[in-house]
Amino acid sequence: MSEGDPVTARAGGTVGAIDASVWDECAGDANPFVSHAFLSILEESGSVGERTGWAPLPVTVGSDDHIAAVAPVYVKSHSQGEYVFDHSWADAWERAGGRYYPKVQLAAPFTPVPGPRLLTRDPGYAPALIAAIEAVTANNRLSSAHATFIASEEVEMFEDAGWLIREGSQFHWQNEGYGDFDDFLADLASRKRKAIRKERRRAVEGLRVEHISGSDLTEAHWDIFWDFYQDTGMRKWGRPYLTRPFFSLLGERMADKTLLILAFRGDTPIAGALNLIGADTLYGRYWGCLEDVPFLHFELCYYQAIDAAIERGLKTVEAGAQGEHKLARGYRPVPTWSAHFFPDAGFRDAVANYLQAERAAVERDIKFLGEMGPFRKGGGL
């Protein structure tokens, strides 16, 4: 596309209907959750769609014969599966006589993983994507649009467009060039090192842990993990977000980016953690168990993930949303970001005031928790 060519924005259809190579040229290969494979698997498996309250509405920008930018956009009839909570906004808007749902969501569904949401061959097309999402929202008289877990470099783009920025936090583990887990432990205070070693010993006593990836993944593994996932989903959400076919399609199309960690008692699998592998990050996504074993959750989701990241030379482990218990296990607090568009000026002002106070509190918490971590202070023990 050359300078001066007409640019058209379109919204509708599905991600699966867009050519995979075109989508991935815009998305890049660093973050698996915005890849054509992952998003189309969600559609094909029935995990997203009209009946789930996540109706796909991907936005594309470009000329008739050349797509230059894409965005994974959905029309939502609820606020589930987002991990950036706006229920109080919905309640306030509806008490004032408005209709909060449906709303527009720019996101990787069910995935509290920071990453790009404005997927472009050239960042110059990002404003056109934002404008298109605003137009979909305003022209259909929808209450709002929300871009959740945006990449830090996208914050300024949304701010320039007048969207409100919301700050949150997560706990991520950072690889400081460690050769193995003991190298990591050497950076911790002596008491914390001992506590983690004790946890790891107790967690795996009498158990065997396996890491399974790539062509080693089979349908039998997905049958096992489906039982774990259902148990967790029923307890946390009332109904699991993902369908059983999602896992089969993940193994079929993204096996090289998938790491399944299972714990066995004898030949019987009792717990497991599912991770996706990015260019420089291991993303912990789902966990489940059929037997309650002290510290096993920490072992499979946090410590084994660190082992896997070190082995693969990855820089970061992102182990999902929330969880201050991660702090004592070497995961550091980091800010996360979302962006929000409200066509109604009065409602926008009310939310802006709320976010200003909330951000101050979040930043205080990040600073405080960062100082409370298990790492050695000033090189001492």
For the chain, the straight-line distance linking the first and the last C-alpha, in angstroms and rounded, comes to 59
Distances (CA, A) of 35 to 110, 276, 316: 15, 12, 19
CA dihedral 62, 64, 65, 66 (to 10 degrees): 0
The percent of residues in the chain predicted with pLDDT above 90, rounded, is 91
Number of domains in the chain: 2
Sign of CA dihedral 59, 61, 63, 66: negative
- Model confidence band, residue 193 (pLDDT cutoffs 50, 70, 90): very high
The CATH number of the domain holding residue 131 is: 3.40.630.30
CA gap 214, 94 in Å, rounded: 48
- Residue 275 belongs to domain spanning: 176-314
pTM listed for this prediction? 0.95
Q: Residue 236's pLDDT is what?
A: 60
Are residues 247 and 281 both part of a single domain? yes
Residue 90 near residue 100 (C-beta atoms within 8 A):
yes
Q: How many residues does the chain have?
A: 381
Place of tokens 């058209």: 8
pLDDT digits (tens, 9 = 90+) for 224-251: 999 999 887 556 655 789 999 999 999 9
348 within a domain of the structure (yes/no): yes
**Looking at the predicted structure, is the pLDDT value of residue 1 above 70?**
no
148 and 192 assigned to the same domain: no
Q: b/e map of 218-244 (b: 16 or more CB within 10 Å)?
A: eeebbebbbebbebebeeeeeebbbbe
For residues 70 and 156, membership in a common domain is answered with yes
Contact 290, 271 (CB under 8 A): yes
Residue 124 sits in the same domain as residue 236: no
Q: Say if residue 231 is in the same domain as residue 156.
A: no
From residue 357, how far is each of 52, 149, 166, 322, 335 by CA, in Å? Answer: 33, 20, 10, 20, 16
309 located within any domain:
yes
The percent of residues in the chain predicted with pLDDT above 70, rounded, is 96
